[in-house]
């Protein structure tokens, strides 16, 4: 079972940092004292203002290394650990979601379909009118439960993502938007046909593109969304352009605090060392662009950096 890492035992936990400013101040005090005592003895001929300038310069140079060691290095370590943790949490979430989706589809879904068939069979027999009415109600109920389940399976992590990869998974996802005449998706896959990316990269792009297209359908009133997946110097790039109403400023600031879509997109990109850019103008649509670093040899940059578990998702 997954155990969340213990924050208390982490050497870089900020609550254990209280001593660092004191050590730094003590060092600054001792260094300044030594300089103030030593400089006039070593260079007695210098005027006071040159001594003061030399004092300040020496102090800055001497304190740069301790400041780096005491603050910058641990902060960098903390930031890398946070990235790894985020990546791990997202991977576990995805694995869990895939398991639930499979269970829903293969377990409950099949049982419900079998129930529906049984009910149909029962209705083909002559039955008292009250029982027949109850059977119709029951069939309607089971039918709508199957529909609800299908929706959950569609929106959950599709097994096709692990089995066949990003391109077919996205095609399947986009197909769920079809049926609305006022909304179309143009999908431009510019990577080699059926090529696979590291699992974590595939998952991140699948989720980000899914959210951006959902936003275009839900908020933008867009009629066309163009999705392009291509290779770029840094890794792999996804661009989602809609022709909807757009928005001004930071979207999450305007939206209520329950809006986690864009926040989630950013977190997913940054968990893999990537970046997300959103450009929008009222009446002129929205462009979402995400770049996930990827070395082309099957590794996302975070995996190379961490040298740890294979990127899963
Ligand atoms: N493509 C888009 N076109 C217009 N508005 C958008 C678009 N994407 C996001 N928004 C705005 O940004 C807000 C936040 O989006 P998001 O974080 O995905 O949360 P949610 O979809 O749950 O509202 C939305 O409520 C909407 O007002
Ligand atoms: Mg959203």
Residue 231 maps to which CATH number? 3.30.565.10
Sequence-ordered list of residues with C-beta below 8 angstroms from that of 243, at least 6 positions apart, any chain: 222, 223, 224, 225, 285
* 228 CA → ligand 1 middle, Å: 20
Domain end point (choices 99, 127, 157):
157
| Residues 17 and 150 reside in one and the same domain | yes
Task: Identify whether 1 is part of a domain.
Answer: no
Atom of ligand 1 nearest to the CA of 262: 17
Q: How far apart are CA 274 and CA 267, in angstroms?
A: 9
**Is residue 273 a contact partner of residue 306, using CB atoms and an 8 Å limit?**
no
| Residues 230 and 172 reside in one and the same domain | yes
Confidence of residue 160 (pLDDT cuts 50, 70, 90): confident
Task: Identify whether 313 is part of a domain.
Answer: no
| Residues 63 and 81 reside in one and the same domain | yes
| Residues 91 and 192 reside in one and the same domain | no
Task: Identify whether 2 is part of a domain.
Answer: no
* 212 CA → ligand 1 middle, Å: 9
What is the domain range of residue 183? 166-306
Quick one: CA torsion of 161, 163, 167, 172, rounded to 10 degrees?
Answer: -60
Domain end point (choices 125, 157, 189):
157
| Residues 66 and 200 reside in one and the same domain | no
- Residue from 185, 213, 219 whose mutation best tests the ligand 1 pocket (most atoms within 8 A of CB): 219
Residue 176 has pLDDT above 70, yes or no: yes
| Residues 25 and 84 reside in one and the same domain | yes
Residue 256 has pLDDT above 90, yes or no: no
* 219 CA → ligand 1 middle, Å: 6
Looking at every residue in the chain, the average pLDDT score rounds to: 83
Residue with the nearest Cα to atom 18 of ligand 1? 261
CA angle 16, 21, 22 (to 5 degrees): 95
Pick from 38-47, 80-89, 184-193: least confident: 80-89
- Residue from 183, 223, 259 whose mutation best tests the ligand 1 pocket (most atoms within 8 A of CB): 259
Residue 9 has pLDDT above 70, yes or no: no
| Residues 181 and 286 reside in one and the same domain | yes
User: 84 pairs with which residues across the strands?
Assistant: none
* 217 CA → ligand 2 middle, Å: 10
Q: How far apart are CA 87 and CA 269, in angstroms?
A: 10
* Residue 292 φ/ψ, nearest 5 degrees: -115, 120
- Residues lining ligand 1, CB < 6 A? 215-216, 219-220, 242, 244-247, 251-252, 254-255, 259, 261-262, 286
Condensed to tens digits (0 to 9), the pLDDT of residues 86-134 reads 878 888 888 888 888 888 877 888 888 888 888 888 888 888 888 888 8
Residue 206 has pLDDT above 70, yes or no: yes
Task: Identify whether 108 is part of a domain.
Answer: yes
Residue with the nearest Cα to atom 23 of ligand 1? 259
Residue with the nearest Cα to atom 7 of ligand 1? 215
Domain end point (choices 124, 157, 190):
157
137-163 burial: b if 16+ Cβ within 10 Å, else e:
eebeebeeebeebeeebeebbbbbbbe
* β pairing state of 235-242 and 224-231: antiparallel
Looking at residue 132, its pLDDT comes to 87
| Residues 136 and 203 reside in one and the same domain | no
Residue with the nearest Cα to atom 1 of ligand 1? 216
* Structural domain count of the chain: 2
| Residues 56 and 78 reside in one and the same domain | yes
Atom of ligand 1 nearest to the CA of 214: 21
Looking at residue 252, its pLDDT comes to 56
Ligand nearest to the CA of 278: 1
Residue with the nearest Cα to atom 20 of ligand 1? 259
| Residues 147 and 200 reside in one and the same domain | no
Q: Tally DSSP H helices, then E strands, for the chain.
A: 11, 5
| Residues 22 and 118 reside in one and the same domain | yes
Q: How far apart are CA 50 and CA 45, in angstroms?
A: 10
């Amino acid at each position: 079972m997954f155990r969340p890492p213990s924050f208390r035992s982490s050497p870089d936990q900020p609550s254990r940092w209280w001593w660092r400013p004191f050590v730094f101040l003590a060092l600054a005090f001792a260094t300044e004292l030594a300089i103030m005592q030593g400089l006039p003895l070593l260079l007695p001929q210098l005027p006071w203002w040159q001594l003061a300038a030399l004092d300040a310069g020496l102090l800055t140079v001497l304190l740069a290394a301790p400041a780096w060691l005491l603050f910058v290095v641990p902060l960098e370590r903390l930031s890398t650990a946070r990235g790894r943790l985020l990546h791990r949490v997202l991977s576990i979430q995805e694995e869990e979601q895939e398991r639930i989706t499979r269970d829903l589809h293969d377990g409950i879904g099949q049982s419900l379909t079998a129930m529906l068939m049984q009910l149909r069979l029962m209705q083909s027999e002559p039955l008292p009118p009250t029982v027949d009415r109850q059977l119709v109600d029951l069939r309607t109920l089971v039918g709508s439960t199957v529909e609800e389940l299908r929706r959950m399976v569609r929106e959950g992590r599709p097994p096709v993502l692990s089995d066949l990869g990003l391109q077919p998974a996205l095609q399947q996802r986009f197909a769920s938007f079809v049926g609305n005449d006022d909304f179309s998706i143009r999908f431009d896959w510019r990577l080699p046909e059926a090529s696979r990316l590291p699992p974590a990269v595939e998952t991140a792009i699948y989720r980000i593109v899914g959210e951006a297209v959902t936003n275009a359908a839900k908020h933008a009133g867009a009629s066309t969304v163009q999705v392009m997946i291509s290779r770029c110097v840094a890794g792999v790039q996804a661009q989602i352009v809609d022709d909807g109403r757009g928005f001004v400023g930071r979207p999450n600031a305007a939206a209520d605090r329950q809006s986690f879509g864009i926040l989630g997109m950013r977190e997913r990109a940054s968990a893999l060392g990537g970046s997300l850019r959103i450009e929008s103008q009222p009446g002129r649509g929205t462009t979402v662009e995400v770049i996930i670093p990827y070395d082309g040899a099957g590794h996302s940059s975070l995996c190379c950096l961490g040298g740890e578990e294979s990127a899963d998702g």
